[in-house]
Structure 1
Amino acid sequence: MISNTIEKLKWRYATKKFDPSKILSEEKLNVLKESFNLTATSYGLQPLKMVVISDARLKSELVPLTMSQTQVRDASHVLVLCTENIVDKKYIKQHFSRVEATRNTPRAILQPFELFLVDEFSEKNPEDIAQWMAKQAYIAMGNLLTVCALEDIDACPIEGFEPQKYDEILQLRSLGLRSVLVLAVGYRDETDMFSQLKKVRRGVGNVIIEM
């Protein structure tokens, strides 16, 4: 299993050209949705949502907002990782209500940590909270890329896009969200030369420090 995982990660690459005729099955798409939901986040607060786009017209409209990268047009689906606009006392209390309901943990046990987080976030400025949430989105992106590799799904992570225009065209403001990252997923085109290139990495000996 270990060697198979490494081989899958070697197979993975940032897909430059997707085959638009190949569409993810509902089963594969559900794996990605569940993987996003199960992604680790700081304090378990999960301040993220993911927009799943399959509509061909909408994907085409996103191309000029994504530095003309045609991956968002040709991919089976485009996943837009978003953060909440607000993480406040109400949001935190809702989280602990879910913990209470899911684990049957008495609120009295949860309350000290709940109060700590309420105080912690009340002292943070909005910019710091936004930066913290963006870091959670990157954790989710890394998780999704690994899952894609294990599931033989091709993917291209994208930072080069116009978030404010994405927010506008996807009407994210009305949902209390802002876009942070884009992930195009699907299946590589056989003519994509980049799929055959060897990975260029610094090497385990240069990036791992044993202590």
Structure 2
Amino acid sequence: MTQDIVTALKWRYATKKFDSAQKISEAKLNILKESFNLTATSYGLQPLKLLVISDPKIKESLVPPTMNQVQVKDCSHVLVLCTETEISKNHIESYFKNVEKIRRTPSEILKPFEIFLIDSFSEKPKEEIQIWAAKQAYLAMGNLLTVCAIEEIDACPIEGFDPAAYDSLLELNKIGLQSVLVLAVGYRAEDDMFSAMKKVRRGVKNVVIEM
């Protein structure tokens, strides 16, 4: 199994050209949705939401604010990783109610940590919270890329886009969200020359330090 994962990670690459005729099945798409939901996040607060876009007109409208990268038009689905614009007291309280319900943990045990988080987030500058939330989005992106590789779904992670334009076009401000990362997913075109290129990495010996 370990070798299978390494093989899958070697197989994946940032897909430059998608086969627009091939679509991800609902079953595979559900795996990606569940994987996003199961991603580890700081404190377990999940300050994230995932937009799953399949509408051809919306995908095409995203090309200009994505620096004219046509992957968002030709892929099967565009996944937009978003952060909540505010981590409110209600958000934190909702999380702990969920913990109490699912784990059946008595509220008196959870309360001290709940109060700590509410106080901590109320004291943080908004910019600091946004940076913290964005880091959680990167965790989710890494997780999704690995799952895509294992499921043999091609993907292209995208930082090169205009978040403000995305937020306006998708009306994210109306639902308290802001875009952070974009992931185009689907299946590679047969003539994508990048699929045959060898992966360039520094090598385990150069990136891992053992003590």
TM tier, smaller: over 0.9
Looking at structure 2, the residues matched to 122 and 172 of structure 1 have their Cα atoms a distance apart, in angstroms, of: 23
The reply on whether 1:28 has 2:28 as its aligned counterpart is yes
Structure 2: unaligned runs, 5 residues or longer: none
Segments ≥4 residues shifted beyond 4 Å: none
Residue number in structure 2 paired with 1:14: 14
Residue number in structure 2 paired with 1:102: 102
Which whole-Å deviations, capped at 9, do the CAs of 1:66-89 have from their partners, x for residues lacking one? 000000000000000000011021
Residue number in structure 2 paired with 1:158: 158
Residue number in structure 1 paired with 2:186: 186
Cα deviation, residue 2, structure 1: 0.8
Residue number in structure 1 paired with 2:207: 207
Cα deviation, residue 123, structure 1: 1.1
Corresponding pairs, count: 211
Cα deviation, residue 91, structure 1: 1.1
SS of the residue aligned with 1:130? helix
Which whole-Å deviations, capped at 9, do the CAs of 1:153-174 have from their partners, x for residues lacking one? 0000000001111011111111
Looking at structure 2, the residues matched to 85 and 201 of structure 1 have their Cα atoms a distance apart, in angstroms, of: 35
SS of the residue aligned with 2:63? helix
Residue number in structure 2 paired with 1:177: 177
Cα deviation, residue 94, structure 1: 0.8
Cα deviation, residue 122, structure 1: 1.1
Looking at structure 1, the residues matched to 158 and 32 of structure 2 have their Cα atoms a distance apart, in angstroms, of: 17
Structure 1: unaligned runs, 5 residues or longer: none
Looking at structure 2, the residues matched to 201 and 85 of structure 1 have their Cα atoms a distance apart, in angstroms, of: 35
Residue number in structure 1 paired with 2:79: 79
Cα deviation, residue 90, structure 1: 1.5
Looking at structure 2, the residues matched to 91 and 35 of structure 1 have their Cα atoms a distance apart, in angstroms, of: 21
Looking at structure 2, the residues matched to 46 and 61 of structure 1 have their Cα atoms a distance apart, in angstroms, of: 29
Looking at structure 2, the residues matched to 55 and 195 of structure 1 have their Cα atoms a distance apart, in angstroms, of: 26
Which whole-Å deviations, capped at 9, do the CAs of 1:100-120 have from their partners, x for residues lacking one? 111111100100110111111
- What is the TM-score when the length of structure 1 is the normalising length? 0.99
Percent of aligned pairs with the same residue? Answer: 66
Which whole-Å deviations, capped at 9, do the CAs of 1:36-82 have from their partners, x for residues lacking one? 00000000000000000000011000000100000000000000000
Cα deviation, residue 178, structure 1: 0.3
Which whole-Å deviations, capped at 9, do the CAs of 1:161-203 have from their partners, x for residues lacking one? 0111101111111111000000000000010000000011000
SS of the residue aligned with 1:3? helix
Residue number in structure 1 paired with 2:67: 67
Looking at structure 2, the residues matched to 86 and 57 of structure 1 have their Cα atoms a distance apart, in angstroms, of: 30
Looking at structure 2, the residues matched to 21 and 88 of structure 1 have their Cα atoms a distance apart, in angstroms, of: 42
SS of the residue aligned with 1:21? coil
Cα deviation, residue 24, structure 1: 0.2
Which whole-Å deviations, capped at 9, do the CAs of 1:13-37 have from their partners, x for residues lacking one? 0000000000000000000000000
Residue number in structure 2 paired with 1:119: 119
